[in-house]
Amino acid sequence: MKNITILTPIKNERENLLLFMQSIQDTVSRIEGYNFTHVFVDNLSSDGSIDIVCEQIKAQKHIGLIINQRDVGWHRSVFNALTTIDSDAVIVISADFQDPVELIPSFIEHWANGHQVVGGIKLSDADKFFVSLLRKLYYFLMQRISDSTHTPGFIGFGLYDKKVLDLFKNIPDSEPYLRGLPADFGFVVKGIEYHQPRRHSGESKFNFFKLLDISIVGITSQSKAPMRIATIVGLFSSILSLSIGIVYLAIKLIFWNQISFGLAPLIIFVTFAFSLQFLFIGLIGEYISKISRDLLKRPLALERQRINIPPSNPL
């Protein structure tokens, strides 16, 4: 029988864990023909989540736990686990019930039919209106500037075949962008649409700044367009500045005493020019920072401990 691993990243999910584990077990126990294991990756929880998982491991040997030395973020901890798990397929799902457990049988069904990446496509989310609007604008932007096909609504929740996982192992990327990597390798994400429910308990670990960080990683990983835009805007700004300067000089020479432009236009133009410079310098800095991290080749995550990995008795 083929082996399927359920991979769940956690940080301070104490209130959700027991119900989530039971929900996963009830769901996969009804699927025949596969061995299932459940691996948790902890990002420095401080609410006793680790203790709950360890207690469950004593009674349920299909559960395993990876404890990171520090919080390296959702994407890095998940990607590090994906590259070290030996399984025919891995299903990435969060413990907050915002990734519907009910989609797991559909993931496996499509995988059995030959799809190597099956992902949940989020049609709507439970975020505040402003955050939801920014997310839609981000997907709209990525569809137009991404070097590969970007799947709107795909956030990493889904099933990944062993062939895809083997390719992941050879990526020397310090900030892997899981949402876009399958498309980079030419895999088509078989999407299953869903409406995201609210968290069952607790608070989301993805605040505005973490979402912004993920979006910047996505843009710098998936597209050269921002650098091209900076070059083009810089070129046109130079031409415009030169043209305005020539016109201003000509008018002033012809109407020396009649024309007095004052400092206001100059101040506005200089302020605008400097704002563009700072914007594009910051953009270039993001690309350089990513290159620097890749060259350093530091590990995605430092693991403090592995408990029952690989799980000794799959379902």
Summarize pLDDT for 222-260 with one digit per residue, the tens: 666 676 677 777 767 767 777 777 777 777 777 766 666
Report, as an integer, the average pLDDT of 30-49. Answer: 92
Three-state secondary-structure class, residue 256:
coil
Place of tokens 């699927």: 31
**What is the edge-to-edge ordering of all strands in the sheet holding 63-68?**
190-195, 117-124, 154-161, 89-92, 2-10, 34-42, 63-68, 303-307
Q: pLDDT tier at 68 (50, 70, 90 boundaries)?
A: very high
Q: Which two tokens stand for residue 202?
A: 């607790």
Report, as an integer, the average pLDDT of 200-214. Answer: 64
Q: Which of 167, 174, 172, 73 is nearest to 117 (CA)?
A: 167
* Cα 232 from Cα 290, distance rounded (Å): 23
Q: Which two tokens stand for residue 75?
A: 């994407």
Pair type for strands 190-195 and 63-68: unpaired
Checking if the pLDDT of 49 tops 80, the result is yes
Mean pLDDT across the chain, nearest whole number?
A: 82
What pLDDT is stored for residue 74 in this prediction?
Answer: 82
pTM of the model: 0.76
* Cα 13 from Cα 52, distance rounded (Å): 10
Report, as an integer, the average pLDDT of 176-193. Answer: 85
Contact 234, 280 (CB under 8 A): yes
Report, as an integer, the average pLDDT of 43-49. Answer: 89
Amino acid at 168: F
Q: pLDDT tier at 65 (50, 70, 90 boundaries)?
A: very high
Report, as an integer, the average pLDDT of 36-47. Answer: 92
What pLDDT is stored for residue 259 in this prediction?
Answer: 63
Which has the higher per-residue pLDDT, 292 or 16?
16
Cα Rg of the chain, angstroms: 25
* Cα 52 from Cα 311, distance rounded (Å): 16
* Cα 152 from Cα 141, distance rounded (Å): 10
Share of residues in the chain with pLDDT > 90 (%): 33
Q: Give the C-alpha distances (Å, rounded to integers) separating 193 from 40, 120, 159, 252.
A: 25, 6, 14, 64
Amino acid at 44: L
Which has the higher per-residue pLDDT, 299 or 36?
36
Checking if the pLDDT of 208 tops 70, the result is no
